[in-house]
Amino acid sequence: MQNVYSVAQVNTYIKNMFSQDYMLRSIMVRGEVSNCKYHSFGHIYFTLKDKLGVISCVMFAGNRGGLSFPLKEGMQVVVSGNVDVYERDGKYQLYAKKITLDGVGQLYERFEALKRELEERGLFAPEYKQPIPSHIKTLGVVTAKTGAAVRDIINIARRRNPYVQIIVYPAIVQGEYAAQSIANGIRALESLGVDLMIVGRGGGSIEDLWAFNEEIVAQAVFDCSVPIISAVGHETDTTIIDYVADLRAPTPSAAAELAVADIALLEEQLVGMRERLCNAMMRILEYKRIQLSHEAMRLRALSPQSRIQSMRYASMRAQEQLQNAMEQILQNYRRKLAVYIERLKGVSPLDKLNQGFSYVANEQGKTVNDVNKVVKGDILTIHVKNGKVITKVEDIVKAEPAKGEQ
């Protein structure tokens, strides 16, 4: 009678067969990653595929040390591990212990490893970056002696400023000896004392550009005392020296524009600066002229001559005021004197004489206004308007007293 087996027995039997197969116990499988899923426990479930087949894969959390990069869809990888059967589902799968990038992926892995190492050593630190000079006299270029890159750099640099001297070091930029050649070129141009350096080449594959990912080139860029602009490949290409250089340009043409200032623009800036300087000087001169005028006025106001002049004006003013006051006083006195004169005229003997009156004086010159003051024989002088009459008293006639007088 034929044996009948359970599903579990069959799955166990197949698992034992897989376990006893030497090749399946340690195998390397190349393929493209798809259906990649990260489990919350740290496991990674994914599928490897090629044009003719698919295999399920899993990398448990305990084996994650065998993966040095984030696993993503579409990656070409080589998975090292063993093929075994998951008894419950009766499904075989590849249990990954190590995953590496395939071909180009291996270069990328080397790139990432060196990048991490150099970053830890501080070669990418911003504090070591040198400023790019805005105006240079000599430009050093480390690149292939032929090709579009060197032509573009020279043409653009000369168009922007024909007075800049360009020194090209014809380096090998691809192949076994490229890295050493590029490093030698950097040191050679540094010894010549150029003001700025461009290190780069035209576009290509990652293998073509690999010389610029070598540690010897990165160290030469870092050690160089001259500022360096990296210009490797196209805008999408990134190399190690892009991180080490003082400035990264997306293309060699862009590097030339960054390195050499446009002399036409510089001339425009100089004209504008000259105009601004002239305007500023005119404003300063006008301000200083006004300030000087004010100071001159202050000096004139504080000078002895000015003070003397002021005092002279004050003295003349005081003199004029005094004269006016004296004139006013004299005028008042003249008016009073005229009044007094008029009053005196009323009692003046001379005025009375002019009116036909006269007065009599004795020999002593005293006025005789009473007959009792004279006696016969006295010599009297009669004063009249135009002279005097000397007479002798012959007789005295007293007037009769008026009624009521005794």
CA 25 to the chain's CA centroid = 70
Is there a domain that residue 405 lies in? no
Across the beta sheet with 359-361, the strand order is 359-361, 379-384, 387-392
Is there a domain that residue 53 lies in? yes
User: What would the two tokens of residue 80 be?
Assistant: 């090292």
Other CB atoms closer than 10 Å to residue 286's CB: what's the count? 10
Residue 284 and residue 175 in one domain = no
Last residue of some domain: 237, 261, 285? 261
Q: Residue 167 maps to which CATH number?
A: 3.40.50.2300
Give the span between the Cα atoms of 192 and 172, in whole angstroms.
20
Give the span between the Cα atoms of 201 and 209, in whole angstroms.
8
Give the span between the Cα atoms of 39 and 389, in whole angstroms.
169
Tens digits of residue pLDDT in 173-205: 998 899 999 999 999 999 999 999 999 999 887
Residue 158 and residue 54 in one domain = no
Number of domains composing the chain:
4
> What are the distances in angstroms from CA 64 to CA 79, 100, 229, 372?
12, 12, 39, 173
Counting beta carbons within 10 angstroms of the beta carbon of residue 31, is it exposed (0 to 12), middle (13 to 18) or buried (19 or more)?
Answer: buried
DSSP 178-210: HHHHHHHHHHHHHHHT-SEEEEEE----TTTTG
Alpha helices (H) in 348-376, listed in sequence order = 349-354
> Can you give the pLDDT at residue 350?
65
Is there a domain that residue 342 lies in? no
Q: Is the pTM of this model over 0.75?
A: no
Is there a domain that residue 326 lies in? no
> Can you give the pLDDT at residue 1?
59
Is there a domain that residue 334 lies in? no
Is there a domain that residue 335 lies in? no
> Can you give the pLDDT at residue 406?
53
> Can you give the pLDDT at residue 353?
65
The residue among 263, 262, 266 whose CA lies nearest residue 274 is 266
Is there a domain that residue 311 lies in? no
> Can you give the pLDDT at residue 337?
87
42: containing domain: 7-102
State the amino acid at position 402 in one-letter form.
A
Residue 95 and residue 140 in one domain = no
Buried b (16+ CB within 10 A) or exposed e, 260-272: bbebeeeeeeeee
Residue 296 and residue 381 in one domain = no
Is there a domain that residue 112 lies in? no
> Can you give the pLDDT at residue 403?
60
Q: What is the DSSP letter of 67?
A: B
Other CB atoms closer than 10 Å to residue 236's CB: what's the count? 7
Residue 70 and residue 15 in one domain = yes
Give the span between the Cα atoms of 79 and 55, in whole angstroms.
11
Give the span between the Cα atoms of 278 and 316, in whole angstroms.
51
> Can you give the pLDDT at residue 105?
62
Last residue of some domain: 86, 102, 118? 102
Residue 191 and residue 87 in one domain = no
Last residue of some domain: 102, 127, 155? 102
Point out the residues of the chain with pLDDT beneath 50.
Answer: none
> Can you give the pLDDT at residue 287?
92
Give the span between the Cα atoms of 116 and 33, in whole angstroms.
25
Residue 282 and residue 379 in one domain = no
Q: Residue 25 maps to which CATH number?
A: 2.40.50.140
